[in-house]
Structure 1
Amino acid sequence: MNETKQHLTVAVTGLNAIDSPGPGIAVIRALRDGFPKPIRIIGLSYETMEPGIYLHDVVDKTYQITYPAAGTEALLNRLKYIHEKEKIDVLIPNFDAELYNFMKLAPTLKSMGIATFLPSFEQFDARDKMHLHQFGLKYGLSVPADKVIYGVDELYTCAELLGYPLVVKGKYYDAVVAYTMEQAQKAFYKLTAKWGYPIIVQQFINGNEINIAVLGDGKGNATSTIPMKKLYITDKGKAWAGITLEDDTLIALAKTFVQATKWKGGCELEIMRTPEGIPYIMEINPRFPAWIYLTAAAGQNQPAALAKMALGEDVPPYIDYEVGKIFIRYSWDHITDVNEFQQISGFGEL
């Protein structure tokens, strides 16, 4: 942080606190808990209806940024404008689809005085859905069999190889469990329309859903690992309630992943534990999950630790956390004024 400044300025994406929430608001809550005041939060939004834009007790100022498809040059130009006004110290992106651009710009942002703490392209690709099964084979981790497809007709081969039900996954987000070919085809068209090609078709694993929030230091060490069991799941497969677990097997699994990849930054391991106790890695998300505030509540504030590491501070690995800590997500009607909506829509900042 610039020593002449009296506060830390952190820019955060993922302000869409909706029924399928982005991690941004939870990251911001953790940051405010983890740093002595004052801290200034700059929201970076894509849509005008992202609720975080209008939560002024959470986000101090919001700027719209270009969509990932616009490329790195457009994003950099916008960030230069924002940085000129706000003097950003740390930037924390929270969407899978935007990470490539931010990773590519990380050296340039560093030269501007904006710190990030992101995985390398090699690390990012190793855990990609399209390579996950091979990654599991390489490091002796249990990962369901899968097949990457580009045409709907390939679903018949998937059904023969993997059996029903099939898990049909989008390139970036969303997954549908299909029990028939008709359901699989419907999911294929829905997910390609939303996320494009390819589609990943995965073997279905029956068991209990567990997620692990992980923070890697980029040198092979896990600074923090917090396992969470889903207590309530929405129709979109999102955890609406969860509880921290004490489980050495899950923590060892997360540490194996970090050691194998030398993961740098936050990530989430989506686990399905079978009735026999085998933890299958279903997916590895390369950023903080939407429930990341639970790590702060349990005693391992991962967003705050990441920000400190981005600034060059040495953060020793956490040892203990509170087991049995529960989060329960809820919704409420936030009231704002049409003038604020017009301001963000017309001028791209609020």
Structure 2
Amino acid sequence: MSKQTINIAITGLNNTDNPGPGVPVIRGIRESQDLDVKIIGMAYENLEPGIYMPGITDITYLIPYPSAGTKVFLNRIMEIHERERIDLIIPNFDAELYTFIKSEKLLAQKGIRTFLPSLNQLEERSKSNLPAFGEKYGIRIPKSREIVSLIDIPSLREDFDYPLLVKGKFYDAYLAYNSEQVITHFNKISAKWGLPVIIQEFIKGTEVNVVALGDGTGRTVAAVSMRKQYITDKGKAWGGITIDDSQMMEITRDIIAKTRWKGGMELEMIKTSSGEYFLIEINPRIPAWVYLAVGAGQNIPEYMVKMAMGENVPTSQEYQVGKMFIRYSWDMLGDIGQFEKISMDGELQHSDEF
């Protein structure tokens, strides 16, 4: 295909110890040999590292959290659109997907494309609905239960053995070895993400993940599997290695075929010592470790952009097994003028000199 200039707005620039997918998604897009892009960063906080990292965004704007209300949120998007002529938006947080999916038609009327699952697809795979999802599609799911109050905790012993997992409806998962720890995690998670909080059976085994891309017709355009080598206290992969696991890939393609998933997704699974697979979570967007897939030979962010812009993208099945990633911290130096500009003006252009 011939090169095209595309203005792409991307969220998820919080490249911290709990990293968002925005920076690795941008890195993948910039490595495309076919696409000529302008990257418009959209940040929720003025200290998100992706704002200041050289070579990531061309310009970055502050936007309000979706919790500020759909009208306020979309008004800011349209203000940016008037200035930048956004061709495509790639949201990278679970918590913002509902707003973007509900606003998909309005965005399209303004000339802004997206490549997202439907609202039904989003809700069907939610943590609270995962047991029903597993039953519908024939996938093993750990025993799960929603709780909405501290008074629900004592009765957990009737259905669960300790340790068990305490999860937020969007993010965060903590292992609890007793009811006191469940109370601590419940309070922390509910204050941050709201209710319900999900209790999930702890399955002992190896955590394996798949990043995949569906075209909305049931076809798996790309998929790469990896095993976590190092996990932080927030449950995030800080190191991982691509693996060849045909059964896990078969599960992934089967889910995408049956659900007709559109967009990126991450499947989190536990492989037991007996070779059984339990699906513990489906994240409805590209994960933060997607740059490993790019390095292994499948540029999933690039494929998504091309499909969103109406291009035909062939199925990609081969990737390099044994490719490894390791995250690390890096003291990036900037200037107070950059911080002042994004804080006061709500925008920062990387051509600005400080």
Superposition TM-score, scaled by structure 2 size: 0.96
- Find the partner of 1:299 among 297, 300, 320: 297
Gaps of 5+ in 2: 349-354
Counterpart of 2:265 in structure 1 is: 267
SS of aligned partner of 1:34: coil
Q: Which stretch of structure 1 is more off in the superposition, 73-82 or 238-247?
A: 73-82
- Contact map agreement 1:72 1:104 (CA 8 A) in 2: no
- Contact map agreement 1:119 1:265 (CA 8 A) in 2: yes
Q: How many residues align?
A: 347
- Find the partner of 1:38 among 36, 39, 42: 36
Counterpart of 2:114 in structure 1 is: 116
Deviations 1:53-99 (A, max 9, x none): 11131111000111111222212211111111111111100000000
- How far apart, CA to CA, are the structure 1 residues paired with 2:8 and 2:303? 13
Deviations 1:281-316 (A, max 9, x none): 000001111001111111111111011111111112
- Find the partner of 1:66 among 37, 40, 64: 64
Structure 1 residue 348: deviation in Å? 0.8
Percent identical residues: 50
Structure 1 residue 207: deviation in Å? 0.3
Counterpart of 1:219 in structure 2 is: 217
Structure 1 residue 192: deviation in Å? 0.7
Counterpart of 1:281 in structure 2 is: 279
Asked if 1:156 is matched to 2:151, the reply is no
Query: CA-atom RMSD, angstroms?
Result: 1.3
Which amino acid letter does the alignment assign opposite residue 339 of structure 2? F
Large movers: runs of 4+ above 3 Å: 35-38
SS of aligned partner of 1:230: strand
Gaps of 5+ in 1: none
Counterpart of 1:130 in structure 2 is: 128
- How far apart, CA to CA, are the structure 1 residues paired with 2:154 and 2:20? 34
Counterpart of 1:192 in structure 2 is: 190
- Contact map agreement 1:118 1:265 (CA 8 A) in 2: yes
Counterpart of 2:229 in structure 1 is: 231
- Contact map agreement 1:71 1:101 (CA 8 A) in 2: no
- How far apart, CA to CA, are the structure 1 residues paired with 2:235 and 2:157? 22
Which amino acid letter does the alignment assign opposite residue 90 of structure 2? I
- Contact map agreement 2:242 2:321 (CA 8 A) in 1: yes
Superposition TM-score, scaled by structure 1 size: 0.97
Deviations 1:205-263 (A, max 9, x none): 00001110010111111111111100111121111110111111010010111112111
Structure 1 residue 194: deviation in Å? 1.1
- Find the partner of 1:105 among 103, 106, 128: 103
Asked if 1:18 is matched to 2:16, the reply is yes
- Contact map agreement 2:15 2:49 (CA 8 A) in 1: yes
Structure 1 residue 37: deviation in Å? 5.8
Structure 1 residue 35: deviation in Å? 4.2
- Contact map agreement 1:149 1:200 (CA 8 A) in 2: yes
- Contact map agreement 2:44 2:64 (CA 8 A) in 1: yes
- How far apart, CA to CA, are the structure 2 residues paired with 1:7 and 1:81? 21
Which amino acid letter does the alignment assign opposite residue 141 of structure 1? I
- How far apart, CA to CA, are the structure 1 residues paired with 2:317 and 2:289? 20
- Contact map agreement 2:126 2:169 (CA 8 A) in 1: no
Deviations 1:161-197 (A, max 9, x none): 0111110001110011101111111111111111111
- Contact map agreement 1:15 1:43 (CA 8 A) in 2: yes
